[in-house]
Each structure stands twice: as structure tokens, then as C-alpha cells.
């Protein structure tokens, strides 16, 4: 039976650095996906992902016994992304929909698949148009499926504020999506 993330991180904190490899294997993909969507830049996301794991090792002594590993990891990732944006002195670039990987379902007809792909591309373009704070709260709460308590801890706000921010961000995403749906060239 594999050890839970929390126990692995406690072992890393206590000096068993081999356990970091297991944590990396488990969380590299989701963390990369989060950072890729947050930054809109795959190369930067890969670099940031490595930085997050380096910081996990460097700051392993800050991990607490009652801590939640995923929340702690995304908190570090958020800080790394903030440092990246501060250094770059620019907002995240909108993602190019042609650069996204399509996951076609073989059971769906070609016309339905094309429509779904178009909707997916519009959704990613709309996500790219959100400001960084709105995109971040949606990525954490919806795509990474963290609880609002975990999101609140990462964003350093109350649970109620995290819920409100997610709700407003979702409405903003919907507005951008419908605007793009009406006029895709905007």
C-alpha cells in the first residue's frame, strides 16, 4: 500500500530525500498543468515546476505535521509563479488554442467532435483572457479540484472569500466565453 503524500513529505522533511521522487511522480503532471494554464507558456511552466520541487526540498522544514501536502505544494507554486510574473513584468499571455492538446473521443462523430473541439478552444481562449487572480482561483478550485478551504489557505484569504472569488471568476469566464462565441475574432 503506497504511503499518503503527507507521510512521504514528513519523511522528506526528516531527511529521507528518496521519498521526493515518489512525490514528484505523483504531482509533476497536475502541477505542470496548473502552471501551464496559469502562465500560458509551457516552457515557463516546466521551469516553474522544477523550481517548485527545488523549493520543496529547500523549505522542507516548513512542512507541518497537520499540513495538507497539495495545499502546501500549490502555495509554493503560486509563489514561484508570482516571482516569475514579477521578473517578466508582464501579465500571462493568452494561450494559443492550436497549441492545446485535443483528447478526442472515438465514439463521437466527426461533426460533434469538431463542435466540441471548437467549444474547448473557445473555453481556453476565454480562460486566457481572465486576469491572473481569476484564472488562478478557477484552476485551483475547478481543475485541480482543491477544496475551498485549501484554496483559501493557498490564496491567504477566508473560505468565504475564496468561494466568492471563484464564483465571480466563473461569471467572468462565462462572459468572455459568450463574447468569443458571438465574435471569435475579438
pLDDT digits (tens, 9 = 90+) for 94-107: 555 555 554 344 44
**Cβ(102)–Cβ(120) under 8 Å?**
yes
* Domain 1-93 in CATH 1.10.1740.10: yes
Residue 167, pLDDT above cutoff 90: yes
Q: Where in the chain is the domain with CATH 1.10.1740.10?
A: 1-93
Q: b vs e for 93-118, b when ≥16 Cβ sit within 10 Å of the residue's Cβ?
A: eebebeebeeeeeeeeeeeeeeeebe
Q: What is the mean pLDDT of residues 144-150?
A: 88
Give CA–CA dist 63/28, Å, rounded. Answer: 19
Which of 115 and 62 is assigned the larger pLDDT?
62
pLDDT in tens, 23-74: 999 999 999 999 998 888 899 999 999 999 999 999 898 888 777 899 899 9
CB under 8 Å, gap of 24 or more: what pairs does 36-43 form? 37/95, 37/127, 37/135, 37/139, 37/143, 38/81, 38/92, 38/132, 38/135, 38/136, 38/139, 39/81, 39/84, 39/85, 39/92, 40/92, 40/93, 40/94, 40/95, 40/128, 41/92, 41/93, 42/99
pTM, rounded to two decimals: 0.62
Which of 157 and 86 is assigned the larger pLDDT?
157
Architecture per CATH, 104-186:
Orthogonal Bundle (1.10)
Residue 158, pLDDT above cutoff 90: yes
Give CA–CA dist 110/112, Å, rounded. Answer: 6
Q: Where in the chain is the domain with CATH 1.10.10.10?
A: 104-186
User: Who contacts 21 (Cβ-Cβ below 8 Å, separation ≥6)?
Assistant: none
Give CA–CA dist 171/19, Å, rounded. Answer: 41
Q: Which of 59, 53, 74 is nearest to 147 (CA)?
A: 74
User: What local confidence, expressed as pLDDT, does residue 105 receive?
Assistant: 43
Instruction: Quote the strand ranges of the chain, DSSP E.
Output: none
User: What local confidence, expressed as pLDDT, does residue 168 receive?
Assistant: 94
Amino acid at each position: 500500500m503506497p504511503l499518503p503524500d503527507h507521510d512521504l513529505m514528513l519523511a522528506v522533511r526528516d531527511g529521507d530525500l528518496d521519498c521526493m521522487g515518489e512525490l514528484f511522480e505523483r504531482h509533476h503532471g497536475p502541477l505542470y498543468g496548473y502552471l501551464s494554464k496559469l502562465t500560458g507558456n509551457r516552457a515557463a511552466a516546466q521551469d516553474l515546476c522544477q523550481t517548485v520541487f527545488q523549493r520543496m526540498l529547500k523549505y522542507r522544514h516548513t512542512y507541518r505535521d497537520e499540513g495538507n501536502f497539495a495545499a502546501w505544494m500549490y502555495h509554493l507554486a503560486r509563489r514561484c509563479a508570482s516571482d516569475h510574473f514579477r521578473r517578466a513584468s508582464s501579465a500571462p499571455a493568452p494561450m494559443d488554442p492550436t497549441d492545446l492538446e485535443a483528447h478526442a473521443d472515438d465514439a463521437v462523430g466527426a461533426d460533434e467532435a469538431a463542435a466540441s473541439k471548437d467549444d474547448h478552444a473557445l473555453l481556453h481562449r476565454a480562460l486566457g483572457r481572465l486576469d491572473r487572480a481569476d484564472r488562478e482561483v478557477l484552476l485551483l478550485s475547478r481543475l485541480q479540484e482543491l477544496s475551498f478551504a485549501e484554496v483559501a489557505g493557498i490564496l491567504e484569504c477566508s473560505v468565504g472569500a475564496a468561494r466568492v472569488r471563484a464564483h465571480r471568476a466563473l461569471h467572468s469566464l462565462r462572459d468572455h466565453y459568450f463574447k468569443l462565441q458571438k465574435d471569435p475574432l475579438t
